[in-house]
Amino acid sequence: MTGARVAIVTGASSGIGEACAARFAERGLRVYGASRNPNFRPERFRPLLMDVTSTDSVARAVEEVARRENRIDVVVNGAGFGLAGSIEDTSLDEAVKQFETNFFGVFRVCRAVLPRMRQQRDGLIINIGSLGGLFSLPFQGFYSASKFALEGLSESLRQEVYAFGIRVVLLEPGDVLSRFTENRVLAAGASAQSAYEPVFRKALEIIESDERHGSSPESVAAVASKLIGLRRPRVRYALGRIDQRMALALKKLIPSKYFSRVVMSHYGLLSPHDRASAASSNEPPRAA
């Protein structure tokens, strides 16, 4: 390969996407930062108009990069948002919108870049998953579901494109301090009239506090940058705070029903009586 590597990073307007785009540019890659509102500073990386929920928009953007550069070496699928609210309070339209960005958006981008990468017989696709795609989170059911789905898609894609020299990797950060928190969408049914309102608001306060004390987007970008030089990267890399990565290890060690109680306790979904009972006996606690 001659010349600089070419990268496309979606969700480059903020957070992990922006950090990855900036880090890659510092390494000398020719970076196209994709967003629905590409208002980036030109000296950092090249803005690219792309709406990952539109197949036509994705196709046009990828074709523009391919035409300019004649190659695409690295893709980071960082576009995404969080939807919060109970599953019962979430409408079908809201759930579909979550998947259109977090799951089908990744699918659209992968499908658009793969012909070029196959032709090159080389390429790296980094999908930004989440620890929430490895264990579910209360009141973030559709966010977790979209990330669980991304796990399966990425594993299958990795197997299918191996013979073409294309590497597919999942990065699975825990809570990250970014605009993800302020950009979270609340389900319309998550109102004061909801039966879940008291526990939802309590859990949401904990969720947002964890995010405000999360790891930096730059720490995720640093790992993504290291992957560029690896010929045989791992399937997935769990990232973030040590306590959250330990929760993933704990899930593998204890029965699911006990792990579920650990999660529920963290988010305030067990009453004090239930927590005391769980600590003093083998009887399963009751949900608050």
d(CA 179, CA 175): 12
d(CA 284, CA 262): 12
Residue-number span of the structural domain to which 271 is assigned: 254-288
Question: Can you give the CATH number for the domain in which 87 is found?
Answer: 3.40.50.720
Q: Burial, 139: exposed, middle or buried (Cβ in 10 Å; 0-12, 13-18, 19+)?
A: buried
Q: Which residues neighbour 61 within 8 Å (Cβ) at sequence distance 6 or greater?
A: 8, 32, 34, 48, 49, 50
d(CA 284, CA 271): 13
Q: Burial, 283: exposed, middle or buried (Cβ in 10 Å; 0-12, 13-18, 19+)?
A: exposed
Q: Are residues 284 and 185 part of one domain?
A: no
Q: Measuring CA to CA, how many Å separate 284 from each of 209, 256, 259, 280? A: 28, 12, 12, 11
Q: Are residues 66 and 31 part of one domain?
A: yes
Q: Are residues 272 and 237 part of one domain?
A: no
Q: Please give the pLDDT value at position 284.
A: 43
Q: Note whether residue 269 is domain-resident.
A: yes
d(CA 130, CA 214): 13
Token code pair at residue 271: 């009453």
Say what the pTM is.
0.91
Q: Are residues 99 and 123 part of one domain?
A: yes
Q: Which of 175, 171, 150, 215 lies closest to 76 in space, CA to CA?
A: 171
Q: Note whether residue 248 is domain-resident.
A: no
Q: Are residues 80 and 31 part of one domain?
A: yes
Catalytic residue ranges: 143
Residue 287 amino acid letter: A
What is the pLDDT tens value at each position of the chain, 288 positions in all? 457 999 999 999 999 999 999 999 999 999 999 999 887 665 689 999 999 999 999 999 999 999 999 999 999 999 999 999 999 999 999 999 999 999 999 999 999 999 999 999 999 999 999 999 999 999 999 999 999 999 999 999 999 999 999 999 999 999 999 999 999 999 999 999 999 999 999 999 999 999 999 999 999 999 999 999 899 999 999 999 999 999 999 999 999 999 999 999 999 998 665 655 545 444 444 433
Q: Are residues 262 and 148 part of one domain?
A: no
Q: Are residues 132 and 75 part of one domain?
A: yes
Domains of the chain: total:
2
Q: Is 284 helix (H, G, I), strand (E, B) or coil?
A: coil
Q: Are residues 267 and 206 part of one domain?
A: no
Q: Measuring CA to CA, how many Å separate 192 from each of 74, 84, 85? A: 45, 14, 12
DSSP letter assigned to residue 183: T
Q: Are residues 263 and 218 part of one domain?
A: no
Q: Are 5 and 228 contacting, i.e. CB atoms less than 8 angstroms apart?
A: yes
Q: Please give the pLDDT value at position 270.
A: 87
